A and B are shown apart, each in its own frame.
Chain A
Amino acid sequence: MDFPRILSGNWDTPDSHRLAVAKSRGVYSQLPRALAMAPNDITQIVKDSGLRGRGGAGFPTGMKWSFVPPAEKRQGKSVYLLCNADESEPGTFKDRYCLWLDPHLLFEGMAIASRALDCHVGYIYIRGEFRYIARRLEEALAEAYAAGLLGKNILGSGHDFDLYVHVGAGAYICGEETALISSLEGEKGQPKLKPPFPAVEGAWRSPTIVNNVETLAVVPWLIQHGAAAYKALGTEKSPGTKLFSVSGHVRRPGVYEIPLGIPMMQFINEYAGGLLPGRTLKAVIPGGSSVPVMTPAEVAICSMDYESINTNAGSYLGSGGMIVMDDTTDLVAALTNLLRFYAHESCGQCTPCREGCGWMHQILCRVRDGEASEVDLGTLRDLADNIHSKTICFFGASAAMPVQSFLTKFRSEFLDRVQRRGVGAA
């Protein structure tokens, strides 16, 4: 398949994180052009390209940018641009590659975005476990500043953009944009009710755009090649390429850039190397641990784009973090593992989530260990249904969806475990 590697094109060049190497690969070539453009024209290209947020929600990026109020309606407030590099969704590890192997592409994307948004200060919020990457980002920032590519009067354009790295300290919830803002402000990383949406009132009560690493890194390519070239890739409603992280029971787990829309089985077999010898497919979580699980029959008819996964499997493309499970997997144990994660990471603000996630985990431990009855499965389902959509942020739904989908699509595994009550774990 022939397609441009928009995000991973520089990854196999040695020292791709150094400014000189990055420049020789064309990074920063679009910055002067973008700085000479009218800000609205940049936003229009992003809108026309159909680029959707790559962090998980898939919200159209250009539309998000256009929510920032115009200067005359901002009462002199600054606009902030935040890069969400808090990559924490289990199964997702693509941003780590972008940050480590091509930091300058991200900086260029952010500088171009800052011009479109009339923004002069940006932060890259990176998870604390990535401190070794944060150090590399700091070095790369120093190089970019020294070359006049960031800071005051970028390349003599009159546009100022200061960019800083802010290091988190271990909290999954900070990947949620309002929690990320709370954390940046020096608070506990707890989400806030929307509206107001961050684009209107975000960090320090100023208009704020939060975009994922991968989303921002696409922007220079859009400036160079235009919206039509991007729309020519992928499908009509899911244009472009996307990075997919694949893990679990495949022969070549890793990060792959593909045009959206290729058949899921083709991706698993040709890119991820297929299953291990002698194994058969049991289940796939397509877009990070929070999205509903898929059965092999669903995998067979789905393609790797937002619409197909939703229409054919009731699941989501999400962050593109695919977890593949073969026939050796104990799905009850797998779900129990995931609920331990959610119980650990709930920020504690909303009662349904704080209490419910722990409770669901406890029930699942008993189901896994053969100590539960069928009534417990009903309680589990009730809990999930009563957490979903009843919390401030999407975390509650993220914990509920795996439970709902595993219980529905793989019911026999759970029934088998409760009916053999007292027999012990399989």
Chain B
Amino acid sequence: MSHSATSAASRGPREWSPEQAAEIELILTRYPTKKAAVMPLLWMAQDAWDWIDLDIMRLIGRTLELPPSHVHAVASFYTMFKKAPTNKYFFQVCHTLSCALVGAERILAHLEKRLELDEHGNSKDGLFSVLRVECLASCGSGPMAQMNEHFYERLTPEIIDEVIDALRSGKQLPEPRREADQWIFPVS
């Protein structure tokens, strides 16, 4: 099991901004209990503060009248809630069977070499992080990776280089290559 809790460092106490507080009011109208808002609030906090530390868990606990331990339990169960910082550009590369059959390891090896990754998957230039992840439901268009929120599919080392070069030079992010965008019904 790899959902174990990661100890989180502190960046100091947090408070919601007025905009966030208004958003929370809206979220609470959607559910019959306050507890149900714990995942939406964790997402909101992660969007604002990049990763989830103990002070954020305490803040969410106070807001929803939940013990901080419950917020911690939820935050540590779900792998997408970051309990530690990652670099600005976060590649999550699928290595489950369908992607593995079509060359996921080749993509991972290329990223490792090109970005000079350390043992934690962080690049030498401090701009990129790379994580191996399980199936992202993109099996027909592998190898694939999610870069921050974007899906890049049918990856080749050349496409990886194109994305990295654009991100490094601060240029506009290349358009995600998403298979579902280019749906063409195959004539049989």
Residues in A lying within 8 Å of B, measured CB to CB? 1, 5, 8, 11-12, 78, 87-93, 95-97, 100-101, 127-132, 162, 164, 166-172, 183-189, 204, 245-249, 252-256, 270-271, 289, 321, 323, 325, 329, 334, 337-338, 340-341, 343-348, 354, 358
Contact = CB atoms under 8 A, between A and B. Distances in A.
Given A166-B39, A337-B100, A129 B136 contact: yes
A247 B74 contact: no
Given A90-B96, A249-B101, A185 B36 contact: yes
Contacts of B3: 171, 347-348
Contacts of B33: 185-186, 204
Given A248-B97, A321-B139, 14 more contacts: A87-B137, A162-B30, A168-B39, A169-B79, A245-B139, A248-B139, A249-B102, A253-B141, A271-B188, A329-B101, A334-B100, A341-B96, A346-B1, A358-B1
A271 B188 CA distance: 6
A128 B140 contact: no
Contacts, number: 171
Contacts of B40: 166-167
Given A1-B188, A247-B98, A338-B97, A169 B136 contact: no
Query: Nearest 7 pairs between A and B by C-beta?
Result: A169-B78, A170-B80, A186-B35, A247-B139, A253-B140, A170-B79, A247-B98
B70 to A, nearest CB: 8
A131 B78 contact: no
B188 A247 contact: no
Contacts of B51: none
B22 interface: no
A187 B137 contact: no
B134 A12 contact: no
Contacts of B149: 131-132
Interface string B137-180: 11111100010011100000000000000000000000000011
A216 to B, nearest CB: 18
Contact of B74 (A101, A187, A256): A187
Given A186-B39, A256-B186, A348-B1, A334 B140 contact: no
Contacts of A344: 1-2, 134
A167 B73 CA distance: 17
Contact of A325 (B80, B96, B101, B186): B101
Contacts of A245: 139-140
Interface in B62-78: 64, 66, 73-74, 77-78
A91 B183 contact: no
